[in-house]
Structure 1
Amino acid sequence: MDLLLFFGAVFLASGVQACPKVCICVARRNYSRHIADCSYKDLHTVPVGLPSNATTLTLSVNRIASLQEDSFVDLGSLQGLWLSYNEISTIGKDTFGSLAQLRNLDLSHNQITDFPWQDLRNLTALELLKFSSNHLEKVPAEAFSTLKELRSLWLDNNRLALLSEGTFDSTPLLSLLQINNNPFHCSCKLWWLKQWLKGTSVSTPEKESITCETPKDLRGHVLGRTLALDCTLPSVQLTYHSILDNSVLPDGLSLLLDCGAVGNPLPEIGWRIQTSGQTVAINGPNAEEGDSLAAARTEEAPGRFRVFKNGSMAILKFSKADEGVYTCRAVNDVGSREVSVEVALSSSENAADDLLRNDIQASRPRSQPCDKDELSQPEEKLVVIYLTPMGSKAATNGGMLWGPWQWGRWIVLFSVALYP
């Protein structure tokens, strides 16, 4: 009896809690590490009754097919979780969300197609993450955004055709990245990865196996070496016109801003309007197919900011309330650039007086030149529309009509930005 009590006391002193019969639980290094080894047990589910103070849990080489929200709910001290060589295809949301101390997570050699990427947000201590040899088809751009301690990331032997630009930007300590043996589609959307692989200090083993699967004419090309992609960032030019055509509206001034962009692939153009009273984003044409500029100015046309397929934008009945920054943004698969112009309406005889009085900061010149290979911040320039009162006029030939407050002339104080 005394001997039984003695072994019981030793068991409690060791810090080892209850352990499932199929597992081996041990404490090491002055009891700071508590290991639960349940590998090679032909398990179909995560066993219940695991010690809550376990710091390492090994479930590798079993037949586990799914993980649920409560699979590890009582294991908040885990630092290492090893699940390789199972049959995992389903992982419930919040399965790993409570494992804030986790440093190593190995899910390699399973059948994972969809992963609850939001679970990674709480795993800020994670240093190693292995997804090798699964069926992953996509990884969200923000998947690793909180993993500041991540050093080793394994995404090899999956079904990834694309990785979004910036996927690895939030992992400053990353030193090893495995992305080989994926069926990459080598379009301009992957141009950034080609450039990243050429310049990164992160170790990327088996680079000869980071190849294109599609398109057919690029199959087998090594992404960081032999691949040639004809891709260029957009360049943007913003110009303006004082009238939309050869007529002048009798009920107010109209302004046309032309945004021209080139790049490969051809960029898509959107606009952002920031005035003192509102911010408006227009991400594509809102004028109907076949609309003319003159038709856009009619009362029947919805909205006062009309964007056309060629990138032009008409501001109808321009007034003081429309003063502000007008930004044209060009986007293609390689990246984006934008250029802005600040428009102000002057009603005085001396536009320079208005500038001094309003102290418009956008007219300050750039301090440094723009690097054409960088995604630059927009350069703001200033255009002042100088409105001069004029008397009523009527053309005898049925032509234009002039109202008492039609614009008389334009003054351009700075040229509009052009990105190379």
Structure 2
Amino acid sequence: MDPVVCLVAALLFIETQSCPDVCSCFARKTYNSYIADCSYKELQAVPIDLPSNATTLTLSVNRITSLQEDSFLDVAELQALWLSYNEIRAVQKGTFAFLVQLRVMDLSYNQIGDFPWGDLSNLTALQQLKLSSNRLEKVPLEAFHTLRDLKSLWLSDNRLTVLSEGTFDSMPLLSQLQIHNNPWNCSCKSWWLKRWLEDTLVSISEKDSVTCATPEGLKGLVLGRTLQLDCMLPSVQLVYQSSLGNSVLHDGLTLLLHCRAVGKPPPELRWKIQTPSWNIAINGPNVEGEGDKVLADSKQSKERFLVFSNGSMAIPMFSKTDEGLYTCQAMNDVGSREVSVNVALASAESPTEDLLQNTIQASKPRTKTCDKEELLKPEEKVVFIYLTPVVPKTSNSGGTIWEAWPWGSLSLLSLLVLCS
């Protein structure tokens, strides 16, 4: 076909694309784009019959109050969507999910309080996202986890008080960030954000306006290098002992695990148990009281693993089915640390040969663990115990000495990772 005929046919196709009367639609051949400009029209809703080949849609400075799941169904090829300076309050889930070619989206200067964050998971080509000057109170941790091409993110002038650690980690190309003029809570929940702002190479607009709203004593202070927060990651240590021939328990052995944790704010404890029969997590105590009376009543208890308010856990009548990995996790607003012990009953004459066949898993923290200096050389302490029960003792240097009791029929092999 003659090239001139092809060009004419293409131009006729562009001209015959539908365009709402209230909008102006035109092609920019230089940029291979087709623009639908519907701005400054006092629109109260997204117009229908938008051109299906539109790559840019401008709806800024109107009176649109809501966006529906089908609002942009006819313009799936959009690369830029401008919706700033409207009155948008409600955005239905799925509104943006199919706009997979979108590179720029501007929803700034609206009244959005509940944003469909899940829609962003499909927008992997997005490079610029503007959500400033809205009513957002929270951003889910996974909100931006697929936006690896995102370069500019605007979240300023909202109602954000905290962000989850790792919120920005999945965006390696992020170069510009706006989070100023939010009512930041400068408790230990923002300890990670303070550290991140100090170290990041991302350009932070109006950094001096990233200030604390609470607590009262820090109100107005800049969340940055000069602000001192009295916070500390948990330091956690796991010690254990066993009891044979107990005057109360005559039918078996009770394994006692004790978790010691300190931090600011004081950490909460979670026990995680992985055995052939169990894979559970226990948050906080599940029995009342302490000591022998509780253990004596354990046969009537519905709980197999007894967790006390002081951080201890008891496994009455420990048996082969209870072998496995026992982990104590300490968590506070700063982060979490955990330490584990792998417990096994020895059946061979040489406990070492029997126990070394077990797969020992080093305890790895799930959030921020040791400080930077500690992360360079994590202290991994492997303790082999040939005779048990054992009594933990603390040396003058703060280390742990393991001393075997003169009797015992239980052997333990443990791997401890200590960060203190």
What corresponds to 2:265 in structure 1? 265
For the 8 Å contact 1:339–1:380, the answer to whether it is kept is no
Residues 245-394 of structure 1 aligned to structure 2 (within 5 Å): 247=247, 249-288=249-288, 290-297=289-296, 298-355=298-355, 359-362=357-360, 372-373=370-371, 381=382
- For 2:269 and 2:191, how far apart are their aligned partners in 1? 20
Q: Tell me how far 1:155 sits from its aligned partner.
A: 0.3
Q: Tell me how far 1:248 sits from its aligned partner.
A: 5.6
Q: Tell me how far 1:294 sits from its aligned partner.
A: 3.5
Q: Tell me how far 1:363 sits from its aligned partner.
A: 9.0
What corresponds to 1:397 in structure 2? none
Say if 1:84 and 1:354 are closer, same or farther in 2 by CA, change over 3 A: same
TM-score (norm. length: structure 1):
0.86
Structure 2: runs of 5 or more not aligned: 1-7, 390-406
Q: How many residues align?
A: 389
- For 2:300 and 2:362, how far apart are their aligned partners in 1? 40
Say if 1:171 and 1:160 are closer, same or farther in 2 by CA, change over 3 A: same
For the 8 Å contact 2:379–2:419, the answer to whether it is kept is no
What corresponds to 1:39 in structure 2? 39
- For 1:105 and 1:166, how far apart are their aligned partners in 2? 23
TM-score (norm. length: structure 2):
0.86
Q: Any idea what SS the aligned residue of 1:121 has?
A: helix
Task: Please list the CA deviations of residues 283-332 of structure 1 after superposition, one character each: whole Å capped at 9, or x if unmatched.
Answer: 221112x2434423431112211111111110111011111111111111
Task: Give percent identity, aligned residues only.
Answer: 60
Residues 225-264 of structure 1 aligned to structure 2 (within 5 Å): 225-243=225-243, 247=247, 249-264=249-264
What corresponds to 1:201 in structure 2? 201
Q: Tell me how far 1:354 sits from its aligned partner.
A: 2.1
- For 2:333 and 2:114, how far apart are their aligned partners in 1? 25
Structure 1: runs of 5 or more not aligned: 1-7, 389-406
Q: Any idea what SS the aligned residue of 1:345 has?
A: coil
For the 8 Å contact 2:341–2:413, the answer to whether it is kept is no
- For 2:230 and 2:61, how far apart are their aligned partners in 1? 46
Residues 14-25 of structure 1 aligned to structure 2 (within 5 Å): 14=14, 17-25=17-25
Q: Any idea what SS the aligned residue of 1:198 has?
A: helix
- For 1:245 and 1:110, how far apart are their aligned partners in 2? 71
Q: Tell me how far 1:382 sits from its aligned partner.
A: 5.7
Task: Please list the CA deviations of residues 203-245 of structure 1 after superposition, one character each: whole Å capped at 9, or x if unmatched.
Answer: 0011110000111110011001331101111111100121299
Task: Please list the CA deviations of residues 51-103 of structure 1 after superposition, one character each: whole Å capped at 9, or x if unmatched.
Answer: 01100000000011111111001211000000000011111111111101000
What corresponds to 1:396 in structure 2? none
Which structure has the bigger radius of gyration? 1
Say if 1:269 and 1:169 are closer, same or farther in 2 by CA, change over 3 A: same
What corresponds to 2:404 in structure 1? none
User: CA RMSD of the aligned region, Å?
Assistant: 2.8
Deviates more, 1:28-37 or 1:240-249: 240-249
Say if 1:9 and 1:172 are closer, same or farther in 2 by CA, change over 3 A: closer
Residues 80-91 of structure 1 aligned to structure 2 (within 5 Å): 80-91=80-91
Deviates more, 1:61-70 or 1:26-35: 26-35
Task: Please list the CA deviations of residues 152-207 of structure 1 after superposition, one character each: whole Å capped at 9, or x if unmatched.
Answer: 00000111111111111111110000000101011101000000000001000111
Matched residue type, 1:264: K
Say if 1:269 and 1:381 are closer, same or farther in 2 by CA, change over 3 A: farther
